[in-house]
């Protein structure tokens, strides 16, 4: 398939692809401003602060003011990129996002790091509802990227979206799953493999798990389509409908609550298209995620592992016998393998 | 401002009141109290300080947009005839300010956000090198209950945004009653001063005092607040003592009496 070749697991990782991509873009675009809510290094914009200090604005721990101010700056022709963790970017200043940014349809880019249970920092730090909150807001575009290649492509791609954008990013070491030929699109979901039994529709960190699950299922004789959906809103409903039509069953996978995010968006699309396909949603099942020292523990505890996708597909397709086991992949220092 | 100009500003304030009464009258109720309390604030600002071609105007509480509309014709920002569509179906002049509201740079109905917007505009003026541009923001005392106002106040002082002036309408009125009966805001001036602002606390219906305070606020290198002590019934003696300042009932007979009172005063 064009523009979709994948690297081999375990994936190499890179550090701060977002921070680098933003600086590179800002050098070409003088209207870009970088705002941060007391999480400069954690959101990779220490690079911006060092290299373009005149357009870097410390806002402190004051997210409401930061968002409303960003809206006003956008009214004057600036392109503000606002940075904090996803929880603080969306929950606390929700009314400000709606009234100061989304209703006036201003080009503010809200960049929320540490999606879902990728943070072992407890429920206060886990953005498990950010996609649902942002998706419900008129004029908002919602992007949940899967790897460093997508990060590098998404930053310039979102620059010219006329309204606001919420960009959801893993922090720290970012795996490189897509080869450099990857074609990132804000309008088209991308089919990574084709098969008629089950369609795996995934976004963000769960795309890598979906690709791994497809490998294990394919080896066990299951025909799997994997659909890469980095843009949850506006959803490419035409491609989703086409892929769902070609499969006997559908599984969505998201590092987020199953309420209001990708799974909900796909369910709405399937229902509105009148397609009677059984659907399962992998994600947090209406719960907060507690008790972690490490993120992989949380992915396993709350059913967001590769094996969970495999087991779900096996059950959904009524296959006999035990589901295939996902081979464990050893990831050395600087490498990444999905849970 | 000379004594003559002060009289003209006081007259301008009554013009704002008369227009506001006429805008609210067809509905029988509305945000008349906000116009009555802020009439001199708008009149003095528009008559002597605000240049729409150079400056920005933020009306933080969208309920006050009636006063901005009523003041706008003299500043060339709105045709007087269009005021008749205030609050009607499909009118751009919605009763609570929206993105479509003419005559202001920024307003909104979710309270406490406007000062952050004004700070953003002042920051934009600095980044885009418009040293003469000023940002005026009307803020209400009830809004001081919102934490975001103080986030914005801290940011403005830290970044020394001296081009920013807040006109604070301290009318002691919010939905549930007098602000002072619900949350103690005092000492208001000392709060702003402790946040690094210059504060000027004056009678908000005294056009001479307001003019002097605005002059001092603009001259001060710090962001500055002019606290106008006002009443939601000021300038309209026909209103009953207990009139709800947030949302005044204005039946036809009362509206007629109000128009008569204001027209008589303007005829003098």
Whether B108 contacts chain A with CB within 8 A: yes
A63 is catalytic: yes
Residue A215 DSSP code: H
Does A139 touch chain B if contact means CB atoms closer than 8 Å?
A: no
Whether the CA torsion A214, A219, A224, A225 is positive or negative: it is positive
Residues of B in contact with A59 (CB under 8 A): 155
Contact A117, A284 (CB under 8 A): yes
DSSP B144: G
Sheet of strand A11-15: strand arrangement: A173-175, A11-15, A335-336
Q: How far apart are CA A18 and CA A109, in angstroms?
A: 13
Q: Does A76 touch chain B (CB under 8 A)?
A: yes
Q: Check pLDDT > 60 for residue A3.
A: no
Between residues 100 and 129 of chain A, which touch chain B (CB distance below 8 Å)? 100, 103-104
Residues A214-259 pLDDT 10s: 999 999 999 999 999 999 999 999 999 999 999 999 999 999 999 9
Task: Please report the pLDDT score of residue B146 as a whole number.
Answer: 98
Identify the pLDDT of residue A39. 97
> Residue A1 pLDDT more than 90?
no
* Best CA proximity match to A250, nearest among A220, A271, A219: A271
- The verdict on whether omega for the bond into residue A10 sits within 30 degrees of 0, i.e. cis, is yes
Alpha-carbon span A32 to A22, nearest angstrom: 9
Cα angle B175, B176, B177 (rounded to 5 degrees) comes to 95
Contact B148 A68 (CB under 8 A): yes
| Residue range(s) defining the domain that contains residue B77 | 3-267
Average pLDDT over residues A22-48: 98
User: Between residues 139 and 198 of chain B, which touch chain A (CB distance below 8 Å)?
Assistant: 147-148, 151-152, 154-155
Do A64 and B108 lie within an 8 Å CB cutoff?
Answer: no
Lowest mean pLDDT among A293-297, B63-67, B197-201: A293-297
B252 burial via Cβ count (<10 Å: 0-12, 13-18, 19+) = exposed
At A211, list the tokens: 């690709």
Residues A51, A63, A173, A254: which is the catalytic one? A63
Per-residue tokens: A21:
């991509």
The DSSP bridge pattern shows strands A165-169 and A109-113 to be parallel
Identify the DSSP state of A127: B
Contact A71 B120 (CB under 8 A): yes
What does the pLDDT read at residue B4? 58
Residue among B98, B118, B151 with most chain A CBs within 10 A, to mutate: B151
CB contact under 8 A, A65 and B116: yes
Is B220 strand, coil or helix? coil
Q: How far is B78 from chain A (nearest CA, A)?
A: 21
Confidence at B1, pLDDT banded by 50, 70, 90? low
Of all residues in chain B, the percent with pLDDT exceeding 90 is 95
Kindly state the DSSP code that residue B27 receives in the 8-state scheme: G
Superfamily of domain A14-175 in the CATH hierarchy: Thiamin diphosphate (ThDP)-binding fold, Pyr/PP domains (3.40.50.970)
Residue A50: Cβ-neighbour burial (10 angstroms; 0-12, 13-18, 19+): exposed
**At which residue do the structure tokens 């039994």 appear?**
A197
A69 touches chain B (CB under 8 A): yes
Shortest Cα–Cα distance, A62 to chain B (Å):
6
Q: Distance between CA atoms of A142 and A178, rounded to whole angstroms?
A: 20
Whether residues A78 and B127 touch (CB distance < 8 A) is answered with yes
Question: For residue B116, which residues of chain A lie inside 8 Å, CB to CB?
Answer: 64-65, 67-69, 72, 96, 100
Cis amide prior to B187 (ω within 30 degrees): yes
CB-based contact A233:A262 (threshold 8 Å):
no
Q: A69, B154: Cβ pair inside 8 Å?
A: no
Q: A75, B109: Cβ pair inside 8 Å?
A: no
Q: Does B128 lie at the interface with A, CB-CB under 8 angstroms?
A: yes
Look at phi and psi of residue B232 and say left if phi exceeds 0, alpha if psi is from -120 to 50, else beta. Answer: alpha
Task: Write down how long chain B is.
Answer: 268
DSSP letter string over B116-136? Answer: HHHHHHHHHHHHTT-TT--EE
pLDDT at res. A2: 47
- Across the interface, whether the CB atoms of B119 and A72 are under 8 A apart is answered yes
Q: Measured between alpha carbons, how far is B65 from B71 in angstroms, rounded to an integer?
A: 10
State the best of A36, A38, A69 to mutate against chain B, taking most chain B CBs within 10 Å: A69
Tell me the pLDDT of chain B averaged across its residues.
96
Q: Count Cβ atoms below 10 Å from residue B121 Cβ, excluding itself.
A: 28
Domain with CATH 3.40.50.970 in chain A: 14-175
Instruction: Give the pLDDT band (50/70/90) at residue A286.
Output: very high
Across the range B181-209, mean pLDDT stands at 98
What is the predicted pLDDT for the residue at B52?
96
Which residues in chain A have their CB less than 8 angstroms from residue B117's CB?
A: 68-69, 71-72, 100
How many domains does chain B divide into? Answer: 1
A108: its two tokens: 């503010």
The shortest C-alpha distance from B64 to chain A (Å) reads 17
**Number of helices followed by number of strands (H, E) in chain A:** 12, 15
Q: Specify the DSSP class assigned to residue A101.
A: I
Structure tokens at B28: 């029988």
pLDDT 10s digits, A58-107: 999 999 999 999 999 999 999 999 999 999 999 999 999 999 999 999 99
For residue A135, give the nearest of A170, A97, A185 by alpha carbon.
A97
Condensed to tens digits (0 to 9), the pLDDT of residues A160-189 reads 999 999 999 999 899 999 999 999 999 999
- pLDDT of residue A333 exceeding 80: yes
CATH number of A190-328: 3.40.50.920
**pLDDT of residue B2 exceeding 80:** no
Query: Quick one: tokens of B71?
Result: 């003041």
Asked if B117 is an interface residue toward chain A (Cβ–Cβ < 8 A), one would say yes
| Average pLDDT over chain A, rounded to an integer | 96
pLDDT by residue (tens digit) across B136-148?
999 999 999 999 9
Residues 6+ apart with CB under 8 A from A296: A339
Q: What are the angstrom distances between the C-alpha of B50 and each of A16, A216, B2?
A: 46, 69, 17
Tens-digit pLDDT profile for residues B20-31:
999 999 999 999
| Angstrom distance (rounded) from CA A192 to CA A227 | 6
A181 touches chain B (CB under 8 A): no
pLDDT tens column, A187-222? 999 999 999 999 999 999 999 999 999 999 999 999
Number of helices (H), then strands (E), in chain B: 9, 8
């Amino acid at each position: 398939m064009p523009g979709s070749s994948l690297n081999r697991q375990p994936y190499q990782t890179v550090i701060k692809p977002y921070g680098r991509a933003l600086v590179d873009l800002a050098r070409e675009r003088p209207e870009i401003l970088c705002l941060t809510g007391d999480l400069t290094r954690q959101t990779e914009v220490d690079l911006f602060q060092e290299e373009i200090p005149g357009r870097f604005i410390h806002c402190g721990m004051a997210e409401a003011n930061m968002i409303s101010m960003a809206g006003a700056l956008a009214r004057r022709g600036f392109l503000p990129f606002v940075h904090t963790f996803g929880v603080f970017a969306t929950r606390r200043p929700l009314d400000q996002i709606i009234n100061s940014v989304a209703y006036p349809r201003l080009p503010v880019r809200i960049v929320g790091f540490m999606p879902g249970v990728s943070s072992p920092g407890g429920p206060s730090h886990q953005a498990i509802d950010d996609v649902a909150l942002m998706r419900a807001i008129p004029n908002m575009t919602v992007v949940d990227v899967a790897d460093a290649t997508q990060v590098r492509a998404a930053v310039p791609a979102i620059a010219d979206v006329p309204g606001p954008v919420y960009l959801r990013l893993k922090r720290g070491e970012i795996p490189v799953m897509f080869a450099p030929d990857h074609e990132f699109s804000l309008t088209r979901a991308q089919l990574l493999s084709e098969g008629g039994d089950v369609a795996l529709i995934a976004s963000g960190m769960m795309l890598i798990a979906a690709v791994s699950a497809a490998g294990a299922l394919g080896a066990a004789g299951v025909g799997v389509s994997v659909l890469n959906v980095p843009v949850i809103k506006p959803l490419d409903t035409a491609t989703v409908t086409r892929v769902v039509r070609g499969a006997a069953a559908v599984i969505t996978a998201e590092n987020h609550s199953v309420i209001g995010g990708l799974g909900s968006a796909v369910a709405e699309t399937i229902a509105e298209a009148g397609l009677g396909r059984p659907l399962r949603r992998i994600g947090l099942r209406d719960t907060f995620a507690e008790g972690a020292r490490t993120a992989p523990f949380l992915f396993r505890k709350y059913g967001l592992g590769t094996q969970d996708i495999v087991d779900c597909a096996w059950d959904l397709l009524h296959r006999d016998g035990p589901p295939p086991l996902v081979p464990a992949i050893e990831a050395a220092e600087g490498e990444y393998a999905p849970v | 401002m000379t004594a003559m100009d002060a009289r003209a500003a006081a007259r301008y304030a009554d013009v704002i009141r008369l227009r506001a009464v006429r805008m609210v009258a067809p509905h029988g109720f509305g945000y008349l109290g906000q116009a009555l309390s802020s009439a001199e604030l708008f009149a003095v600002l528009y008559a002597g300080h605000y240049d729409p071609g150079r400056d920005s105007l933020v009306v933080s509480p969208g309920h006050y947009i009636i006063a901005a509309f009523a003041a706008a014709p003299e500043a060339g920002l709105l045709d007087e005839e269009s005021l008749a569509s205030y609050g009607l179906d499909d009118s751009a002049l919605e009763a609570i300010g929206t993105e479509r509201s003419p005559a202001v740079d920024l307003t909104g109905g979710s309270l406490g956000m406007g000062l952050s917007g004004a700070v953003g505009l002042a920051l934009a003026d600095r980044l885009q090198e418009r040293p003469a541009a000023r940002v005026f923001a009307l803020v209400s005392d009830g809004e001081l209950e919102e934490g975001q106002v103080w986030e914005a106040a801290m940011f403005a002082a830290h970044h020394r945004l001296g081009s920013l002036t807040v006109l604070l309408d301290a009318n002691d009125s919010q939905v549930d009653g007098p602000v002072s009966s619900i949350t103690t805001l005092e000492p208001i001036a000392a709060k702003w001063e402790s946040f690094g602002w210059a504060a000027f606390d004056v009678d908000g219906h005294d056009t001479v005092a307001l003019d002097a305070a605005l002059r001092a606020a603009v001259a001060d290198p710090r962001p500055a607040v002019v606290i106008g002590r006002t009443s939601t019934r000021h300038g309209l003696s026909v209103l009953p003592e207990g009139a709800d300042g947030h949302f005044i009932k204005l039946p036809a007979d009362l509206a007629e009496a109000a128009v008569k009172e204001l027209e008589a005063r303007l005829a003098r």
